[in-house]
Amino acid sequence: NHYHCANIPLYDESKNEMHTIFFGGIAQYYDSLGSLIQDNNVPFVKTIARVTRTANGTMMEYKLPGEMPGLLGAGSEFIPIEGLPVYANEVIKYDSINTDTTMLGYIFGGINSSAQNIFWINDGTQSNASDVMYKVHVIKNLSTDINDQNNQKGDNLNMKVYPNPNSGIINVDFNLRYSSSVQIHLSDITGKLISQLDYPKNRFVVGKNHLEIKLDSSVQLAPAFLTLITNKEKITQSILSKP
C-alpha cells in the first residue's frame, strides 16, 4: 500500500509484536494469480495487508486472504468505536480483546475507482467519492492462519525497466545471485502471452546484467507486462509506450 488508506494498529504485548492492517488504496505491487506484479504506474488495488514487526525487530508484509469489495481505500479513514482498549497513542491493545469476534470500528470515505489505472484517461467520470461505510471486526483464535508473505522484500533481482514509457526499445537491468538461464515474457493486460525470449545461462554473469529489447508493434499498441523468469525467481513489471 503506497498511498494513505484506512489502517488499524494493534499491539500484541504478550509476543511483543506490532501489527498494522492496511485496507486497499493504491500500490506499486499487487498479486495476480499468485504472481507478484510490479506496476510503476501505482494502480488502485483491493489488497488488505498486514505489516508485522516481530520481537527481534524484523518486519514483513503479509497479504490477507480477504480483499476490499472494489478498488477502494485510497484516502479512506478508519473510525474506531468508543470504548476500545487503547494505549495513549491510540494503538489498540490486542491482548485486551477477549471475545472471539470483536467490532473495532468503521472504514469510510476515500476514492472508489472504476479501474486500476485511470490517471492517464481520467475525464472526471472514472472515479467518485465512496459513500459506503464498512464495519471492521477482528477474529481471534482462528483454526487456520492464512496469510501470504510478500516475498518482494526478499527479492534480489532488482529489475529495472526503462525508459517507461518507451518508444519501442526498452532496457532491462537485473541482478543474478547464481548462474541461470533467463526468459522474458511479454503479455497483454489480460495475461495472454504475446512473445517469449529465451537466453542461455552462459549469456549472463553472476551479478549485474543488462538486456536491450526491441518491442514489436503488437506490444507497442497498448499497455503490456514484462516478466523476467530465472531458475528460482520471477518478477513482472508493466510497460507503456509513448503516444
Tell me how far apart the alpha carbons of residues 6 and 202 are, in angstroms, rounded to a whole number. 48
Mean pLDDT (the chain) is 86
Cα 57–59–64 angle (5° rounding)? Answer: 140
Tell me the whole-structure pTM to 2 decimals: 0.64
- pLDDT tens track for 104-127: 999 999 999 999 888 777 788 899
Contact 227, 234 (CB under 8 A): yes
Question: pLDDT per residue over 19-48, tens digit each?
Answer: 999 999 999 888 776 667 777 778 899 999
DSSP string, 59-119: EEEEEEEEE-SSB--BT-EEEEPTT--B-TT--EEGGG--SSEEEEEEEE-SEEESSS--T
Q: How far apart are CA 152 and CA 150, in angstroms?
A: 5
Percentage of the chain beyond pLDDT 90 is 52
Over 70: is that where the pLDDT of 144 sits?
no
34 by Cβ neighbours in 10 Å (0-12 / 13-18 / 19+) ranks as exposed
Angle at 189 between CA 187 and CA 195, to 5 degrees: 10
Give the C-alpha separation, 93 to 99, whole Å: 13
Q: DSSP readout, 32-58?
A: ETTEEEE-TT--EEEEEEEEEE-TTS-
Instruction: Let me know: does 34 contact 71? Beta carbons within 8 Å.
Output: no
If you ran DSSP here, which 8-state letter would residue 5 be given? Answer: B
Rounded Cα–Cα distance for residues 39 and 73 (Å): 18
Higher pLDDT, 243 or 93: 93
Three-state DSSP state, 219: helix
Rg (CA), the chain: 21
Per residue in 208-220, pLDDT tens? Answer: 999 999 887 766 5
Cell of 168: 519501442
